[in-house]
Every structure is written in structure tokens, then in C-alpha cells.
């Protein structure tokens, strides 16, 4: 077994980046990298694999990637940094299947919206190949609709990014990945455990998507938006979700059910005040909510 040099921090401009899955997020990362290279050349060399060869051709001809690979193994053998931009289960399957093909010492990361299952899979992979590193991550950016066609609608500027490092991760790789994430345009990078991530994201993301879906689901009138002033539209824009991915995220996040139940209780309290016609208590609760929401975002 070769020795891995300590403090051999990768260099953005000298590394080759591979994106597995050129969908919404993979495409957005590629576009952000090419934009950043325009500002500060030369930038990394950028490869991509996608099961849809047509997307690779389009991305190549538009200069979004340097080369497309139909064969993942061929690409992985040349990449210093690999972004797995697939649904959680597909990312895990992909990494397991091609484990033998990654370049020696490569750094792997992913973008899945739940992190516990990915983190467990990553630990297992690192036991099989100790030269690799795998730092699970979650860029908190997106668009209502999925797919490469919507990638350019995604903005990373100032957005949050969560990393859930494993105890095995090398500090120099963690430092490099954070630098790379800022290079893509992201703002705050927060490090936490996979379980803390899932607990918080169950609230800020998955619960919100469940609510949006339930809200659309309880109204059959497609002309209802004539009676809309923005609230309904804002609350339900995310209901135009990528259904296979969100099905996975809903089922994989073990904190989601309790978050839904917490919300149900909170909704029931407000409903009860309305039902019982309690203006003073209702106004007091709404005032507390208003104060809390303003404190949450400083808006």
C-alpha cells in the first residue's frame, strides 16, 4: 500500500473534477465552475458522466464541461475530486459499483439531501479503499424543477452548504473541499454530524416539501390561482418537485415523521384558538410567531 502524503492539499487549478450525474445539481456545479474559471483562470479540468449521452454532448458543445464519459470507470480513473450528483440511493450504488476505478487518493463528495445513509455507506467504502476520502455534503440550493435543462436557474451565490465529515476524513481534504465550495460561490459552510443534519433538514426542507405537496393536494380547482396574491404560489412552488428524489428523501430521513407530528400539533393549537374564537390569545400567538420569524432571518 502506498503512503498518503500528509498535508498534500489539492489545488483547484491543478485538479481534475468529475461529476457523476449531470442533472440539476451536477449541471449547476459545472456551470458555476466554468463561470469561476472565467473570472479566475484556468480553473480545474472538468469531466462528467451521465447515463444520458445526449446531455454530455450538449454540455460539451456549450463549453460547460471539458469532456463527457459514457463509461464512468474511464472518467473516475482520472479525477482528483468526484461529485456524486445522484439521488441518495443511486449515489451509494454508484460509488460501490465503481469503487475499484477511483484514482488513487481521490476525494469523493456527494450532494444528497439526507446524510445518515450516505455517511454510513461512505464509511464502508473507505474501509475497502483507505487511499480514498469521502466527505458527505449537501449544497442548500436548487430549483423547483429538476434536470440539466434547469441547471442554469440555480444560483449558489451566498447560499448555505452543509458538510458532515467522517472521523476518517483528512483535514487537508476537508480544507480543500471548503475552499472549493466557496470557489463555487457558496456562502456559509457549516460542519455537523449526519444525524444533526438530517434532524434540521427534516424541518427546513423535507417538512416544507411535505406541506407544499399536501396543500396542492387538497384543492382540485386549477383556476384557484385567480384568487392568489402570492402566498399560495410561494408556499407551493416547491411542490413541482423531482418526485423520485423526494420520495427517497421523505422515506430516508428518520426525523421527518416526528417533525410532521410537531407541525401538526402546532397547527392544531392555532386551529383550536380559531375554533373557540379566542382573539386575544390568537393575536398573542401570532405576535410571538412574527417576532420569532424576524429573529430567524433578520428580515
Query: Which residues 278-297 are close enough to bind a second copy by CB under 8 A?
Result: 279, 282-283, 285-290, 292-297
- Output phi, psi for 73, to 5 deg: -55, -45
Which residues have CB under 8 Å from 22's CB, separation 6+?
30, 48, 49, 50, 52, 55, 56, 59, 65, 68, 85, 148
Task: Please give the Cα distance from 196 to 214 (Å, whole number).
Answer: 26
Task: Please give the Cα distance from 91 to 93 (Å, whole number).
Answer: 5
Question: What residues between 164 and 193 interact with a second copy by CB under 8 A?
Answer: 188, 190
Question: What residues between 124 and 143 interact with a second copy by CB under 8 A?
Answer: 139-142
HSE, side-chain direction, 13 A CA sphere, residue 52? 12
Stretch that binds a second copy, among 9-17, 99-107, 125-133, 259-267 (CB under 8 A): 259-267
In contact, 137 and 110? CB cutoff 8 Å: yes
Question: What residues between 228 and 257 interact with a second copy by CB under 8 A?
Answer: 228-241, 243-244, 246-248, 250-251, 256-257
- Residue 40 as a binder of a second copy (CB under 8 A): the answer is no
3 state SS of 28 = helix
Stretch that binds a second copy, among 24-32, 63-71, 169-177, 194-202 (CB under 8 A): 194-202
Q: Among 56, 106, 201, 255, which residue sits at the site for a second copy (rule: CB under 8 A)? A: 201
Please state the closest distance from residue 19 (CB atom) to a second copy, in A: 20
Task: Please give the Cα distance from 133 to 104 (Å, whole number).
Answer: 10
Please state the closest distance from residue 32 (CB atom) to a second copy, in A: 15
Question: What residues between 62 and 81 interact with a second copy by CB under 8 A?
Answer: none
Please state the closest distance from residue 235 (CB atom) to a second copy, in A: 5
- Residue 207 as a binder of a second copy (CB under 8 A): the answer is yes
- Residue 157 as a binder of a second copy (CB under 8 A): the answer is no
Closest CA to 49 of 25, 83, 75, 31: 75
Amino acid at each position: 500500500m502506498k503512503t498518503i502524503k500528509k498535508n498534500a492539499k489539492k489545488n483547484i487549478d491543478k485538479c481534475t473534477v468529475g461529476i457523476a450525474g449531470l442533472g440539476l445539481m451536477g449541471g449547476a456545479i459545472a456551470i458555476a465552475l466554468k463561470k469561476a474559471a472565467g473570472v479566475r483562470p484556468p480553473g480545474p479540468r472538468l469531466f462528467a458522466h451521465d447515463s444520458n449521452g445526449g446531455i454530455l454532448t450538449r454540455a460539451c458543445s456549450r463549453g460547460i464541461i471539458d469532456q463527457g464519459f459514457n463509461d464512468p470507470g474511464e472518467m473516475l480513473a482520472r479525477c482528483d475530486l468526484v461529485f456524486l450528483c445522484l439521488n441518495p440511493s443511486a449515489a451509494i450504488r454508484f460509488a460501490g459499483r465503481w469503487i475499484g476505478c477511483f484514482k488513487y487518493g481521490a476525494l469523493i463528495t456527494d450532494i444528497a439531501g439526507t446524510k445518515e445513509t450516505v455517511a454510513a455507506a461512505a464509511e464502508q467504502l473507505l474501509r475497502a479503499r483507505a487511499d480514498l476520502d469521502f466527505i458527505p455534503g449537501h449544497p442548500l440550493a436548487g430549483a423547483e424543477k429538476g434536470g440539466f435543462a434547469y441547471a442554469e436557474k440555480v444560483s449558489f451565490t451566498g447560499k448555505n452548504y452543509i458538510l458532515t465529515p467522517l472521523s476518517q476524513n483528512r483535514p487537508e481534504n476537508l480544507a480543500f473541499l471548503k475552499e472549493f465550495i466557496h470557489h463555487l460561490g457558496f456562502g456559509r459552510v457549516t460542519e455537523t454530524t449526519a444525524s444533526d443534519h438530517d434532524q434540521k433538514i427534516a424541518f427546513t426542507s423535507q417538512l416544507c416539501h411535505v406541506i407544499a405537496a399536501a396543500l396542492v393536494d387538497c384543492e382540485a380547482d386549477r383556476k384557484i390561482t385567480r384568487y392568489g396574491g402570492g402566498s399560495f404560489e410561494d408556499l407551493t412552488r416547491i411542490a413541482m418537485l423531482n418526485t423520485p428524489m423526494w420520495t427517497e428523501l421523505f422515506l430516508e430521513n428518520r426525523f421527518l415523521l416526528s417533525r410532521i407530528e410537531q407541525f401538526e400539533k402546532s397547527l392544531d393549537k392555532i386551529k383550536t384558538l380559531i375554533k373557540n374564537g379566542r382573539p386575544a390569545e390568537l393575536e398573542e400567538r401570532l405576535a410571538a410567531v412574527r417576532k420569532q420569524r424576524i429573529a430567524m432571518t433578520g428580515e
